[in-house]
Every structure is written in structure tokens, then in C-alpha cells.
């Protein structure tokens, strides 16, 4: 299983891969993973298979399992990094022995109806297709062997399928304006429509590991704050902070993607790792940030005093395009863990003193926000 997504990983509790057998196949044994249900194995009273389920659901093993149960690229608790963040850790694999399947081209049939949870229901899988047989190296890498048959399928992700509401929002501030532009109200839901934690005294009453959100005007589990901190002669400085408003939810190996025209000339990034993403060929205006394990900021902990991480970056000015007018210094788009975050209306961006915006433009922007909110609710 290869995660080719550049900035969306599969987080805890991990992936679940399912399918439907074409005939009466059973899984005799498996290494590197396990089926969640043994199924009805009454036809095998003495030698019981690992799973007789017609629709098996396979999950990864946890780290530290006995060596005899391991397989190459297995046993990560179902967590897969994104391709852009850690290519070597974006692969998962397991091996199973199948019975009642036949052993020739004419008798072996591919399973169908594949499904992938990662961990939410955001993925849709294609039908299986026959591809050239995969090749393995044996005898110390001196001999090639080919599989009898190799099948392949692709699972694609949809944010709207994974969640009925957005999962993050963006707030803004600047050195030249004392007012803070908050996340849009009800960006990810409204306090009146869902349960949330209002005060610190309520935290102790949260049952078990049930995820809960702190009560906010935006009701997003994640807020990304973009602060224009300094303006130098040839450079300018930005501070980015990520805050977790969820309880019993940590974000491990998180990723943050931002789009801004000046990301093509970054001079320095503190605390985070930065990688440019050439989404549109030669246009270099999109980049990915993620934490550093040694600095202990690769995990955004649950809501509380330690529930945020931050970084600062210095960007070199392009005199032909740089300006502090009209909100140019703020990002065009922001994504957290691959999901697009809700941005404030441009009319509300921190403005320079004495900036004036015509009332007619304000009316148009408010109408756009209302339409977007209605679309999200209807979906």
C-alpha cells in the first residue's frame, strides 16, 4: 500500500483495508497485519484458518510484535506518512496465504469491492485491474522471480466524504494593526448545534477517550494563525501557530500546507521543516511545513497549555510584487493534514491604517460566505 498523497497522511488509529472474496476463499495465515474478524470457520473443525470472513477487514500490527509475525514495511499501528513528508514511511505491506482460491490463471479470481478507511470514510476505491506481474529478488538479490498474477487498485480521497463540516480554520494578525481577524464564526459548526467543553472544570467529566472540542465561536478542532510580524528593508517575517482545540485527540506527524506568492523565496524557517510543492509545474507558490521530532513539535497535543506549536519564517522581498496593502501578506489557501481550512473574508483581513474598502464590495463578499455555508450544510 503506497500513500502517494503529498501532504495527507493516514493517522491513528490507522488504516483498514477491506474487500469481498470472489468465491469461498479463506485466509490460512497472515504476517504483517491481521483480520479483525475470524468469521464462521465451522467447515474447518481441526485446522482453523486465520479468517473465514467473506468480507475480511485487515488492519496493521502494532510496533514491537514478535519477529515471526512481522513483514517488510509493516507494524506501524496503521500510520502512514505522506509521500512529501517521509517517502520511506509512506508504505505498508503484509502477506497472506489464501485457501480455496485455485492456483492457475483460470481458477484464481481477484477480490472486489475494496474499501479503505484512513481512518475516516473519505476514500473511494476503484475496481481491481490486472497489471504486469510483480518481480521479487531472491538468492541474495541475484535471481528474479515473478508473481503468478498481480492486481492493482487506486483509492482516492474526498474531504467532503470524510467530514460533513470543515476541520480547520485560519485567523490573522499583523504588526501594523492591533485588531485580530478571527476564524469565521461557525466555520466548522456552531456551539448551539453540538456538544463542547465550555470550561476547564468540565474537562474532568469527559468520559474515557471520547473526542470532544473546546467551545469556540468557530468550533474547529484546529486553528492556524498567520501573523505578519516584521517588515525589514529586504525581508519580512511571519509567525505561524497551530492550535488544537480538541480533547483526547493528538495530531502526530501533522502537515501544514500554505499557498502564497512569496514562498518561492524563503530565506529561513525556524522550528519547522519546509518543503516546496510544485503543484503547478514551474510555479513555486505552495509549500509544506511539518514538525521536528527532536524539537518535540511533530505532535500537536490535545487542547490545553501544550496544545499548540509554532514557527517563524523570513521571506526575501520581491520588489515587483511585495506590498502590505489589500491583504497581500496573508496566505491564499491553507491546508492542515491535507484538508482545506476555512479562511476569513478578504474584507476582514488586517489592513493598513486609513485603508478604505467600498461598501459595495463588502456586500458581495458577505453573500459569497453565506452561499459557501449553505453548500457545506447541504452536503
pLDDT digits (tens, 9 = 90+) for 323-340: 999 999 999 999 999 999
Name the nearest CA neighbour of 224 among 174, 271, 258. Answer: 258
pLDDT(47) > 80: yes
* The pLDDT value given to residue 365: 41
Each residue of 96-148: pLDDT tens digit? Answer: 999 999 888 888 999 999 999 988 889 999 999 999 999 988 867 789 999 98
Do 3 and 15 touch, CB atoms closer than 8 A? no
Do 196 and 219 touch, CB atoms closer than 8 A? yes
pLDDT(359) > 50: no
What is the β-pairing status of strands 168-174 and 222-231? Answer: parallel
More confident residue, 241 or 121: 241
* The pLDDT value given to residue 114: 97
* The pLDDT value given to residue 119: 86
Lowest mean pLDDT among 197-206, 229-238, 326-335: 197-206
The reported pTM is 0.84
pLDDT(367) > 80: no
Q: What is the mean pLDDT of residues 210-236?
A: 95
Name the nearest CA neighbour of 218 among 177, 180, 254, 258. Answer: 180
* The pLDDT value given to residue 201: 56
pLDDT(204) > 60: no
Each residue of 274-317: pLDDT tens digit? Answer: 999 977 777 889 999 999 999 999 999 999 889 999 999 999 99
* The pLDDT value given to residue 361: 44
Amino acid at each position: 500500500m503506497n500513500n502517494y498523497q503529498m501532504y495527507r497522511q493516514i493517522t491513528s488509529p490507522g488504516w483498514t483495508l477491506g474487500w469481498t472474496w470472489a468465491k469461498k476463499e479463506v485466509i490460512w495465515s497472515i504476517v504483517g497485519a491481521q483480520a479483525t474478524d475470524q468469521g464462521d470457520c465451522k467447515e474447518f473443525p481441526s485446522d482453523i484458518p486465520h479468517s473465514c470472513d467473506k468480507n475480511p477487514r485487515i488492519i496493521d500490527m502494532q510496533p514491537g510484535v514478535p519477529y515471526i509475525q512481522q513483514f517488510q514495511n509493516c507494524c506501524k499501528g496503521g500510520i502512514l506518512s505522506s509521500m512529501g513528508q517521509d517517502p520511506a514511511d509512506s508504505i505498508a505491506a503484509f502477506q497472506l496465504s489464501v485457501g480455496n482460491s485455485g492456483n492457475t490463471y483460470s481458477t484464481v479470481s481477484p477480490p472486489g469491492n475494496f474499501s479503505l478507511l484512513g481512518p475516516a470514510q473519505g476514500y473511494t476505491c476503484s475496481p481491481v485491474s490486472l497489471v504486469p506481474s510483480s518481480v521479487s529478488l531472491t538468492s541474495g538479490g541475484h535471481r528474479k522471480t515473478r508473481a503468478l498474477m498481480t492486481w492493482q487498485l487506486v483509492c482516492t480521497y474526498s474531504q467532503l466524504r470524510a467530514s460533513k463540516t470543515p476541520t480547520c480554520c485560519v485567523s490573522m494578525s499583523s504588526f501594523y494593526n492591533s485588531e485580530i481577524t478571527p476564524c469565521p464564526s461557525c466555520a466548522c459548526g456552531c456551539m448551539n448545534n453540538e456538544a463542547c467543553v465550555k470550561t476547564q472544570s468540565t474537562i474532568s467529566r469527559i468520559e474515557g477517550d471520547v473526542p470532544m472540542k473546546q467551545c469556540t465561536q468557530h468550533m474547529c478542532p484546529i486553528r492556524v494563525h498567520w501573523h505578519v510580524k516584521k517588515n525589514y528593508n529586504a525581508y519580512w517575517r511571519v509567525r505561524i501557530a497551530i492550535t488544537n482545540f480538541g480533547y483526547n485527540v493528538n495530531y502526530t506527524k501533522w502537515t501544514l500546507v500554505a499557498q502564497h506568492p512569496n514562498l518561492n523565496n524563503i530565506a529561513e524557517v525556524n522550528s519547522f521543516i519546509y518543503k516546496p510543492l510544485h503543484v503547478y509545474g514551474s510555479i513555486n507558490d505552495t509549500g509544506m511545513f511539518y514538525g521536528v521530532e527532536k524539537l518535540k513539535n511533530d505532535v500537536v497535543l490535545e487542547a490545553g497549555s501544550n496544545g499548540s506549536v509554532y514557527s517563524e519564517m523570513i521571506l526575501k522581498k520581491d520588489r515587483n510584487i511585495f506590498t502590505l496593502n489589500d491583504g497581500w501578506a496573508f496566505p491564499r489557501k491553507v491546508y492542515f493534514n491535507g484538508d482545506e481550512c476555512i479562511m476569513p473574508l478578504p474584507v476582514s483581513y488586517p489592513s493598513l491604517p486609513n485603508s478604505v474598502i467600498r461598501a459595495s464590495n463588502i456586500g458581495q463578499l458577505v453573500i459569497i460566505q453565506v452561499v459557501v455555508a449553505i453548500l457545506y450544510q447541504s452536503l
